[in-house]
């Protein structure tokens, strides 16, 4: 497959139940969103031993 390197700058807002993406900080409506309802937050394990 083809890999496209087309990074774009967006303004991101973390709302109560979604992550919203805006083209500019001054935009009133999001260009996209990721719903977070039912999502869980998992912290990385801080207690681990080094493999040898």
Q: For residue 51, what are the contacts with CB-CB under 8 A and spacing of at least 6?
A: none
Q: What is the pLDDT of residue 29?
A: 94
Q: What angle do CA 19, 21, 24 make, to 5 degrees?
A: 145
The backbone torsions φ and ψ at residue 18, rounded to the nearest 5 degrees and listed phi first, read -165, 160
* Per-residue model confidence (pLDDT) at position 14: 93
Domain boundaries, the chain: 1-52
| pTM score, whole prediction | 0.61
pLDDT of residue 1: 62
1-52 pLDDT, tens digit per residue, is 677 778 888 999 998 899 999 999 999 999 999 999 999 988 887 776 766 6
């Amino acid at each position: 497959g083809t890999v496209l390197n087309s990074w774009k700058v967006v303004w991101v807002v973390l709302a109560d139940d979604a992550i919203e993406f805006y083209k500019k900080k001054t935009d009133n409506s999001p260009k996209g969103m990721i719903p977070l309802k039912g999502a869980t937050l998992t912290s990385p394990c801080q207690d681990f031993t080094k493999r040898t």
